[in-house]
Structure 1
Amino acid sequence: MLLDPLARTSCSAWSFVDEATAAGYVDRLASDLGDEAWDLRYGLRGGSRRVRDHWCPL
């Protein structure tokens, strides 16, 4: 949800976050997911695995 701008607009909490801060969050998450830093830090997310750049339930 965080990486999709349209999805962020559906969550009213994001209206309280300024654009520069939101962009920083998005950039950091995209980078962590892109270079697999997230996996190294936290492991695979809740019974999921990465398949062709998409997360799929096991």
Structure 2
Amino acid sequence: MIRTMMQRFGIPGRLSDLNIENIEIDEMARSAMKIQRLLKNNVRDVSMSDAIFIYTKAI
């Protein structure tokens, strides 16, 4: 259902659809790790390597 809505409304599904490349992942992960208000409420601890992994999978 989510994928159908994304296709219908033209919402990109991958970071590469937004012309974001692997070289930008480290900076994106560093920036994400600074948003502590979101990280502290997450049910699972997220490390820098976790953030890099998530962004890498999203490319």
Tell me the TM-score normalised to structure 2 length.
0.34
Bigger share in strand: 1
Normalized per residue, which structure has more helix?
Answer: 2
**What is the TM-score of this pair, normalised by structure 1?**
0.34
Between 1 and 2, higher relative CO (CA 8 Å, sep ≥ 6) is seen in 2
